[in-house]
Amino acid sequence: MRDEDILSTPARILTQEERESFFKDGYVVKKKVISDDWLGKLNEALAKLIEKSKSLTKSDGTFVLEDGHTSDNPRLRRIAFMDEMDPIFHEFQRDSNLPDMAADILGPDVRFRENMINIKWSGGGQEVKWHQDFPFYPLTNRAVGQFLICLDDVGPEQGPLQVVPGSHRGPIYDHYDNNDNWLGFIEDEKLKEAKLDTAVDLTGPAGTVSVHHCCALHASRPNL
């Protein structure tokens, strides 16, 4: 659907101004849109998975460990396929107000692709370099959004997601090096015209949802 066609449909969760902001800037942040009840269930399920990770000594296809991970001090970077790990995550993406929020910016016919949890432990939490999500996907349709749910309060010191406003309307950057090796990020010399100095931190209290366009330039700092 064209942007104007999506905007002509009734809003469900976002305001019309917020929807227009997404199409203009490539991101939108909705504070406290997820209920405390859902947050409690999601955090309880996450705690069980963190407990399960304590027995791991290296990353596998589901758990991505950070340097220094031990059973006494678990440090996870990512948990993939959450809906397969605990049914509550599938129930959340099906029964919460998230699908309605997706419909507000993608149109009424939305399709779920995948989910994961990214974790940034205090005193670390790895930097995520500048990249776009679209080059990672085997997709031709750019009507794709990434929805980030804050399970805890997220401020500037936690190394939140940063997005360059309007970058979703710019070029798709090369995520390979000069020898055609996949990097998964954009090398600095390719970002000279990217206006990284305009990047915005996407922060908010627990229950906040941020959405960014699959072509938006984004990154994050370590957690202080």
The residue among 77 and 201 whose pLDDT is bigger is 201
C-beta neighbour count of 90 within 10 angstroms: 15
CATH number at residue 19: 2.60.120.620
Query: 1 pLDDT band (50/70/90 cuts)?
Result: confident
Q: Give the domain extent around 10.
A: 3-220
What is the number of domains present in the chain?
A: 1
Q: What is the pLDDT of residue 79?
A: 93
Q: Which residues of 99-117 are buried (b: 16+ CB within 10 A; e: fewer)?
A: bebbbbbbbeebeeeebeb
* Dmax (CA) of the chain: 53
For residue 205, pLDDT over 90 is answered with: yes
Give the position of tokens 């996907």. 137
pLDDT tens digits, one per residue of 148-169: 999 999 999 999 999 999 999 9
**129-to-20, 58, 121, 218 alpha-carbon distances in Å:** 28, 23, 17, 8
Q: What is the pLDDT of residue 67?
A: 86
Query: 222 pLDDT band (50/70/90 cuts)?
Result: confident
Q: Please, are residues 23 and 7 in contact by the beta-carbon 8 Å criterion?
A: yes
Task: Find the range with the poorest average confidence among 24-33, 69-78, 88-97, 150-159.
Answer: 69-78
Long-range pairs for 17-23: beta carbons < 8 A, 24 or more residues apart: 18/104, 19/104, 19/105, 22/105, 22/211, 22/213, 23/105
Q: CA 208, CA 153: separation in Å to the nearest integer?
A: 8
pLDDT tens digits, one per residue of 60-73: 989 999 888 999 88
Mean pLDDT of the chain: 94
Structure tokens of 178?
């000069």
> For residue 121, how many C-alpha atoms fall within 13 Å in the half-sphere facing its CB?
14
The reported pTM is 0.92
The residue among 223 and 101 whose pLDDT is bigger is 101
Q: What is the DSSP letter of 148?
A: E
Q: What is the pLDDT of residue 54?
A: 92
Task: Give the whole-number percent of the chain exceeding pLDDT 70.
Answer: 99
